Amino acid sequence: MALSLVAMEGSSSNKRQVESLRDGDCNAKRQNVAMGLEALECSVFSKPLKPPIYQCSLGHFLCLSCCCENRDNKCHLCSVETSFERCFGMEHVVKSVAVPCSNPQYGCVQQISYYQKEEHEKTCPNAPCFCPESVCGFVGSTMALLGHLTAKHKCPVSTFHESEVVNVCLY
């Protein structure tokens, strides 16, 4: 599976570029690239790598959980006895990879760090809503679901103000 992403060009030692990125300057060089998702995943759990990232002496990457669980100090891929060191270069890469939310058709336009995408989508305010009627297959945004429920299923709608206390009974 391939991923389209936006990556920073240039050296991380370029002090002006780093300072301008911290200040939110949009003049940093950007280029669209494609890469395999496995390059950004922990090779043990196949979950997105997120800082802190560790590597063995031969360069194999591990997430923090895998590094902490590794009691014999052997790399899970090459079996070399090693001391795992932080890989700040890969941390910079995974922080710079921005991907879109999977819910643009429901109104989400956010760009998220690749490793934060799954967590964002669990709580995305624009995630699809499903009609609770068992035989109805409607899927849409929150507002579209409200319109669907009132028009198709004739559900009553009440508007409340933020300061009101409301008791709700579900049957």
32 and 94 housed in the same domain: yes
Q: Is residue 86 part of a domain?
A: yes
79 and 131 housed in the same domain: no
Answer with the residue of higher pLDDT: 54 or 34: 54
Length reported for the chain: 171
Give the pTM. Answer: 0.61
The overall average pLDDT reported for the chain is: 80
**What pLDDT is recorded for position 28?**
66
pLDDT surpassing 70 at residue 2: no
* pLDDT tens-digit map of 107-140: 899 999 989 999 999 999 889 999 999 899 999 9
- How far apart are the C-alpha atoms of 95 and 114, rounded to whole Å? 8
11 and 94 housed in the same domain: yes
H/E stretch holding 86:
strand 85-86
Range of the domain at 132: 127-157
Q: Is residue 119 part of a domain?
A: yes
150 and 92 housed in the same domain: no
131 and 119 housed in the same domain: no
Name the domain count of the chain: 2
Q: Is residue 39 part of a domain?
A: yes
44 and 6 housed in the same domain: yes
52 and 36 housed in the same domain: yes
H/E stretch holding 129:
strand 129-130
80 and 144 housed in the same domain: no
76 and 114 housed in the same domain: yes
Answer with the residue of higher pLDDT: 14 or 140: 140
pLDDT surpassing 70 at residue 1: no
8 and 62 housed in the same domain: yes
DSSP annotation of 40 reads G
Q: How far is CA 83 from the centre of its chain?
A: 29
pLDDT surpassing 80 at residue 10: no
69 and 132 housed in the same domain: no
* pLDDT tens-digit map of 68-88: 877 788 888 888 888 889 999
Q: Is residue 168 part of a domain?
A: no
Average pLDDT (149-157) is 89
Query: Across 15-29, 30-44, 139-153, which has the greatest mean pLDDT?
Result: 139-153
**What pLDDT is recorded for position 39?**
85
